[in-house]
A and B are shown apart, each in its own frame.
Chain A
Amino acid sequence: MTNDDYFERLDAELASLVRRAAHLEGSGARLYRCAWLARRATLAVMVGLAIAVTLISEFPSSASGAGPRVPIAAIRA
């Protein structure tokens, strides 16, 4: 099929509607969208946690702010 013939456009159109759950009936579509949102939220939380864990393991003292401080006098000296 060439890039923009009728059948190619129809294929893309149907695929896009299926991706957006347009073919599911009322409750099915709502359920799908809820599941999709839940998956996205879980993924976002997991990515956030992974980043936090990486940062804390790389910079443990700066993460808590409780690391030993260098006396200012030592820097000025």
Chain B
Amino acid sequence: MYRTVARFSDRSRWTDEQLLAAIATCDDRASSAFYRRHLRAVLSWLMRRTGDPELAADLAAEVFSAAMLAAERYEPRHPSAEPWLAGIARNVLGHSVRRGRVDARARRQLGVRALQIDDHDIERVHEMVDAHRTDVAGHLARLPADERAAVRARVVEERDYREIALSLGCSELVVRKRVSRGLARLRAELAR
């Protein structure tokens, strides 16, 4: 009985879908668990595209604010909410680029106070991005060899499907399937 209650109350074990449903019912502990689970991935994504830790930290606040606002409307399409968050991050970044300033609409709507970023926080961004890279590299290394080769060629080296198919000696369709399966496996591993 105690174990069941403890497992239920330990939100770090909940799926993203459960966490987002709980956020929609104002569960602050679910909000915290969701944020902590995905912060490193979101920061890494933003750092890859901006190369600026201060900007990445600022945009991450906007991404999570937008995610909280959209939690009610979340529809799970994958085991992890990471692709959904990446979509939000893409919108936030795109809007910031178009406007020429950091998007803060979600923070304004939610009422998030302005938070100062100092040198220590910038170091933390680098630490979290490095830790995430190590995690991904570890999970990538554990993929089956054919999926690993396909994911590495497509995602890391950014080669097109035709070229990968030629180098691996299989059809484009097979490469696409391997990439898709490999990414799904990676997402599931990272969501744990």
Residues of A near any B CB (own CB < 8 A): 1-2, 5-7, 9-11, 13-25, 28, 32, 36
CB-CB nearest in chain B for A13: B112
Total A-B Cβ pairs within 8 A? 75
What residues of chain B lie closer than 8 Å to A7, measured between beta carbons?
39, 57, 121, 124, 128
A9 contact from B31, B32, B115, Cβ within 8 A? B115
Interface of chain A, helix or strand or loop or mixed? helix
Indicate if the CB atoms of B23 and A13 lie closer than 8 Å.
no
CB–CB A22/B118 < 8 A: no
Report whether B64 and A14 are in contact in the complex, using a CB–CB cutoff of 8 Å.
Answer: yes
B170 at the interface (CB under 8 A from A): no
- Determine if B167 is an interface residue (Cβ-Cβ < 8 Å): no
Provide the residues of chain A in CB contact with B173, threshold 8 Å.
Answer: none
Query: With A21-B26, A23-B110 given, is the CB distance from A14 to B124 under 8 Å?
Result: no
Size of chain B's interface in residues, with CB distance under 8 A? 34
The answer for the CA separation of A10 and B29 in the assembled complex, in Å, is 14
Q: What residues make up the interface of B, taking CB atoms closer than 8 Å to A?
A: 23-32, 35-36, 39, 57, 60-61, 64-65, 68-69, 71-72, 110-113, 115-118, 120-121, 124, 128
By a CB distance below 8 angstroms, the chain A residues around B68 are 14, 17-18, 23
Closest CB in chain B relative to A25 CB, distance in Å: 8
Q: Are A23 and B23 in contact (CB under 8 A)?
A: yes
Instruction: Among A1, A6, A22, A28, point to the contact of B110 (Cβ < 8 A).
Output: A22
Q: Collect the chain A residues with CB atoms within 8 Å of residue B115's CB.
A: 6, 9-10, 13
Given contacts A14-B31, A23-B68, contact A6 B26 (CB under 8 A): no
8 Å CB contact of A15 from B32, B39, B72, B124: B32
A21 to B39, alpha carbons, bound, how many Å? 22
Cβ distance B32 to chain A, nearest Cβ, rounded Å: 5
Q: Name the residue of chain B whose CB is nearest to the CB of A17.
A: B110
Task: For A10, give its contact among B24, B64, B111 (CB under 8 Å).
Answer: B64
**Chain B nearest Cβ from A19, distance in angstroms:** 4
**What are 18 A-B pairs at a CB distance below 8 A?**
A5-B120, A6-B118, A7-B39, A10-B35, A10-B60, A10-B64, A11-B35, A11-B36, A14-B32, A14-B65, A15-B32, A17-B68, A21-B26, A23-B23, A23-B68, A23-B71, A28-B72, A32-B25
Please, which residues of chain B bring their CB within 8 A of the CB of A9?
115
> Which residue of B28, B30, B35, B72 contacts A24 across the interface (Cβ within 8 Å)?
B72
Q: Is the CB of A18 within 8 A of B124?
A: no
